[in-house]
Amino acid sequence: MIKQEIKSIYYLRLSAMMMVVLIHTTAQYRHLFDVNTFQSRFYHFINNITRVESGIFIMLVGIVFFYNYQDRKFDMPPLLTYWKKRVVYILIPFVVWSLVYEIHAVYLQTREWNSSDVLNRIVTGQSHYQLYFIFIVVQFYLVFPLVMSIVKWLPSVKKYLALIGIFIEFVFFLLDYTFRLIDIPFFLESFGSFLVGGWIGLTIQEQQLKVSNKKISIWGIIFAIAGIATVFIRYQNMYIATLSIPIELYRLITMTFIIGGSYFVYLLSEKLVLTLSTNMTSMIKSIAYYSFGFYLLHPLVLYYVMEWIPTRGTPGSFHLTIMIQYIFTLLLCYLIIWSFHRFVPFASFVFGKLPKNSYLPWQAYKKVN
């Protein structure tokens, strides 16, 4: 059975990869501006509202996996193929970049090389600040066959999959908060986003038919309210005084922000597929293929961009410099990944799964697949 391409995932990938670079580019606001200034509040808002990208990335995993594997059996041959792809396209690049960041830290003299410590950091996704997220994604890859098997065994849960995921995530949070169950990044912390993605993937045609301006507006309002509340509470707790708010309520607000915001961006992506030309979607697709590579590479590129174009001591405003740093980081990441894709054999071992052809955006725009 030939499956229909879900074109909205390319807009989701592009959105998430641009957000994660923006988060790390604007994080310097804490050292640039005094607390309670407009600048501090503005960059805190930008830096935190874009953290919805974490939910988008996890939701994407759910969409793609549940959609692609809903008709497949998980007996031994397909299961071996599944694990082989995960090792080649996820685990190997993850280990490669963990080692790159370990070596880079030694080069900068911010860390000494100790083999046991290095191994522990790699295994737990702590070699660099963004790699913890890949560690969580790998956990989802490990548990997915079991989750998919349960859904097939109990097909009636498909309709309620999103609610089940949200419920499990919230209950795990309460248990972990009370009993301190685990002290490393754990997949159940994002289980709601994952099963929302699974629900979308299993009901994709129904989801696409129900996209409307009204629905987008409703979820946009939910995202805005929960997002603004989350950003405000974080700012108060970080810089002013801890707000007296039940931890359960705060968690529900942040979950609404992340999960509701991710679903809003999904609906918006489906609308863009319908609104924009096929050529434009093809161009977005050619860039979005590099989203995993962006996630792995961008901190290294950003470090040197900020060295070459420092925010302090550079003529011009902080705001202009931060914008230039962001644009340069995006462009350099793209060019580096594209160059590997185009000229280096087995580039997928470095940047994850890549398509056969390495089209530049304007080439992809002209050539509709």
The residue count of the chain comes to 369
- Residue 187 near residue 139 (C-beta atoms within 8 A): yes
**Exposed/middle/buried for 212, CB within 10 Å: 0-12, 13-18, 19+?**
exposed
Q: DSSP letters of 260-320?
A: IHHHHHHHHHHHHHHHS-HHHHHHHHHHHTTHHHHHHHHHHHHHHHHHHS-STT-SS-HHH
Tokens of 30: 């804490």
Per-residue model confidence (pLDDT) at position 90: 93
CA distance 187 to 59: 12
In this prediction, residues 214-224 reach a mean pLDDT of 99
Per-residue model confidence (pLDDT) at position 81: 84
Closest CA to 197 of 273, 144, 124: 144
Hunting for tokens 């159940």 — which residue is that?
A: 188
Torsions phi, psi of 3, nearest 5? Answer: -85, 145
Tokens of 335: 């060019």
CA distance 82 to 84: 6
Residue 1 has pLDDT above 70, yes or no: no
In this prediction, residues 11-26 reach a mean pLDDT of 98
Q: 192 pLDDT band (50/70/90 cuts)?
A: very high
CA distance 62 to 322: 33
Torsions phi, psi of 128, nearest 5? Answer: -150, 165
Average pLDDT, the chain: 94
In this prediction, residues 179-208 reach a mean pLDDT of 96
Q: What is the pLDDT of residues 323-365, one digit of tens each?
A: 999 999 999 999 999 999 999 999 999 999 999 988 888 888 7
- Residue 309 near residue 324 (C-beta atoms within 8 A): yes
- Residue 169 near residue 192 (C-beta atoms within 8 A): yes
DSSP alpha helices (H): ranges in 124-203? 131-153, 161-179, 191-202
Residue 74 has pLDDT above 90, yes or no: no
Residue 312 has pLDDT above 90, yes or no: no
- Residue 20 near residue 294 (C-beta atoms within 8 A): yes
Tokens of 242: 């801890």
Closest CA to 147 of 69, 219, 214, 42: 69
CA distance 290 to 338: 8
Closest CA to 52 of 274, 264, 357, 252: 264
CA distance 254 to 81: 37
Note the pTM of the prediction, 2 decimals.
Answer: 0.95
In this prediction, residues 266-293 reach a mean pLDDT of 96
Q: 2 pLDDT band (50/70/90 cuts)?
A: low
Q: What percent of the chain has pLDDT over 90?
A: 85
Report CA-CA distances (Å) from 83 to 58, 78, 86, 90, 153.
19, 9, 5, 10, 22
